[in-house]
Structure 1
Amino acid sequence: MSNPGAGVLAVMPLHTISEVYGEAGLRERLLLEIAELPDTDRLTDALELAAELHREDRYGREPYLSHLLRVTIRIVSHYEVRDPDLVVAGLLHDSVEDHPRELAGSRPGDPRSAALEALAERFGTRVADIVAAVTNPARDPDQDKHEQYREHIAADLDRAPWARIVKLSDFTDNGVGILYATGPAMARLATKYRPLTDIYRDLVNRPDTPLADHVKQLILDQLDRADERFEAILAAD
């Protein structure tokens, strides 16, 4: 299906774009959002790198890139953060966790550390630091995986205000968008995400979280909506 006019696409809900126009529609929406930002070549470079790294990955019923595009569009459009580094970090926020070896190339040493070095060289230290803060740690077999994940969120985002923005958009896409999950993944994700909403509420409300007050309220409302969906899914499971 051909995409609608730019004016319609610019106000369409992100999951509606995904359902009706797919990855191509989300790409077009992102390009509309970043058209007036500085250094657009760097931003499109990040988009193409994300597309290449995640080319075989899936996010439920859709290409994984669609998730990355929605996370990034939400940062610019809904959160009103028109910072090129946040655009790059949004597009590449899962790159080190999911594809460290491809990103690191021939660099020696630990793949994740080498991948972060590659990001810093290509897009700057600030981008690499943000991505590092939202990258899940390697799995500790001696700890419950959900507990480890919660500890990572609370500790790593405590000292990384800008990374909170990327993670909040990521969680919104995963949480509010949980109804788009397929099969048993819905209940599994609800179990994982339900204990996190209070942690995110705390992070949103902190004075050093660099978002406008009305944006913070928007995110708090979205967290409430996510909680309603988690509870309904878990009650039905």
Structure 2
Amino acid sequence: MPLKSAAVIGLGLFGRSLAKKLAELGAEVMAVDKDEALVEEIKDFVASAITADLTNEKALIDSGVCDAECVVVAIGEGIESSVLITALLQKHGAKKIVARSHSELHARVLTALGAKRTFDPEEEMGKVLAEELYAPDFVGRIRLSTGQEVIEFEAPKPFVGKTVQELQLREKYHLNIIAIKRRKADEENQFEINQLPRPGDLVLSGDVIVAIGPQDAARRFEAVLAEGHGG
């Protein structure tokens, strides 16, 4: 189910971006920071924005952040503050706490205090950029908790003009094609989606192929594409 409500604590560049995007996606967002200027900057983009120092237990209770379906502690500086706020959120019954970490030790402490997930935006962005640089033909990827990975990639030249069956992605790479996205004529970034394509369906130049398979298989296929092969 989509997230219905969220509270974002800490409105630095990352926190503001997160709060705005969640609101844009349809969640009811409460944005909180002790800096009034940052709160003023975001108030028109979210359901509510309040100025408060949530290291103060009474302020945290009065703010109502614990009523949100998910609370994100997005504080960019001040490890002590993020630790204290996470502990107070857990104490007062926050349903799901996601917290920004600055080191492996910080992440372990936050997890021990009740954070369901920790993240380091710079580290995660570094990994994403590395993957994009390593395999620039990949449009996107989604890792699943089952150990599978969904990948999107633009059809390389050796694929063009072949049928799904002739590609032999399952036999060669243990990947199953689940969709082919074809750009609509004269409509930039608009696609017609052929879900579960048939063995005889052709791959054309510019098609984006969506496939699923084990993560290690996806990695091997990335290496093949990076070398300019794939046929």
Shorter-normalised TM-score: what interval?
under 0.3
Which structure's CA Rg is the greater one? 2
The structure that is strand-richer by fraction is: 2
Q: Structure 1 length as normaliser, TM-score?
A: 0.24
Q: Structure 2 length as normaliser, TM-score?
A: 0.25
Structure ranking higher on relative contact order (CA contacts 8 Å, 6+ apart): 1
The structure that is helix-richer by fraction is: 1
